[in-house]
Amino acid sequence: MKPLRHTNFEVLRIVSILLIVLMHAWGYAFHTTDPLNRQLLLAVNAVGNTGVSLFVLISGWFGVRFGWGKLLRLVLVVWTYSVASYAVELAFLGHPLSGAEVRAAVFPLLSRKYWFMTCYVVLLCFSPWLNRVPEVLARRSLESLLGVWAFFFVVAPTLLGAEIQNDLGKGLVNFTLVYLLGRYLRRYGFPRWLGRRAAWVAAGCCLALWALGAAVLQATDSLTTRFARDNDVLVVLAAVALFRCFERWHPAPSPAWNYVAGFAFPLYLVNSVVLAFLQPWLAGLTQSPLYGLAALGATGLCLAAAVAAEMCRRLLLDRPFGRLADTLERRLRQS
């Protein structure tokens, strides 16, 4: 029997990926001198950087369950997009043929070509042990673990601007922290002070992130994402508050939204290639007040391309790769 799909979280799943893609689209405007575009870029980064944490919180809330078949299918999907995207880059975008890029294309997870997918697959492999942490530890011990973890990898980078990992929070350490936070929230619930104030907390955190970036811009005349990072306290808190808003929302089941959410991973995997095609157009609009509309359009095109690419992949490769995954799974279980 298929697991029950919760439309509120399926909507959040696709929204979180769209926020990430929109933020990527705005990346081409970092050298703009247009006042409106500068402020919009800061605002998009303030909200968009919650995307990864939101997605991982969903995974933590429901719990990732390891299975050889699930792992192999995911690896084959990522490999397909990696090889296909590199072929497109060679053929149409003028990328040079190099040993390093070939290795990255053939081994995308081990080379961290897609850092998010690498972290997700590693998390999937470690999930049998990670999922036991909230079950084995008492609540106070789990809170102490999360507190110490957050101090070193969220609080300290926020206050000092220096970090142990040097990955801006886009790595396995912060990924796992947010996953365990999701497991904790599912087991023990949200703090009372969040409650019905979740929307205000999320808005306040995002506004503070924008204001800090705007203050730096005013003082130095340069754009910075110093505060809008995955390992910033305000970003993590905003993600938890937004997650709470969606958790409280109980819409009627929607097969349409559930279907669209199935394209979240493909959208993440294709957005860089689509945006590379659009780069000359986007770069030419960085000084225009229309750049915001262009970035939204580029995000929509990324989604359309992801849907088309994934439908083709399913039509052509789902059956043969499914049989291959089933065969490998049987052999692994027998070994």
What pLDDT does residue 326 have?
86
Q: Is 5 a domain residue?
A: no
What pLDDT does residue 1 have?
42
Handedness of CA 195, 196, 201, 206 (dihedral sign): positive
Instruction: Render 165-204 in DSSP notation, one character per residue.
Output: S-STT-SHHHHHHHHHHHHHHHHH---TTTGGGHHHHHHH
| Residues 6+ away with beta carbon under 8 Å from 125 | 66, 71
Q: Is 2 a domain residue?
A: no
The Cα-based distances of 270 to 82, 89, 108, 264 in angstroms read 9, 12, 13, 10
Show the DSSP H helices in 93-132 as ranges.
Answer: 99-106, 115-130
Q: Give the C-alpha separation, 62 to 253, whole Å.
A: 17
What pLDDT does residue 321 have?
87
Q: Is 1 a domain residue?
A: no
Domain ranges, residue 200? 11-334
Domain tally for the chain?
1
Which is nearest to 234 in space by CA: 331, 155, 290? 155
- Helix, strand counts (H, E) of the chain: 15, 0
Which is nearest to 245 in space by CA: 42, 11, 23? 11
What pLDDT does residue 294 have?
97
Q: Is 4 a domain residue?
A: no
Q: Give the C-alpha separation, 132 to 148, whole Å.
A: 19
Q: Is 280 a domain residue?
A: yes
Q: Is 40 a domain residue?
A: yes
From first to last of its 335 residues, the chain has per-residue pLDDT tens of 445 678 999 999 999 999 999 999 999 999 999 999 999 999 999 999 999 999 999 999 999 999 999 999 999 999 999 999 999 999 999 888 999 999 999 999 999 999 999 999 999 999 999 999 999 999 999 999 999 999 999 999 999 988 998 899 999 999 999 999 999 999 999 999 888 899 999 999 999 999 999 999 999 999 888 888 999 999 999 999 999 999 999 988 888 888 999 999 999 999 999 999 999 999 999 999 999 999 999 999 999 999 999 999 999 999 998 888 888 888 888 77
Q: Is 245 a domain residue?
A: yes
What pLDDT does residue 125 have?
96
Q: Is 317 a domain residue?
A: yes
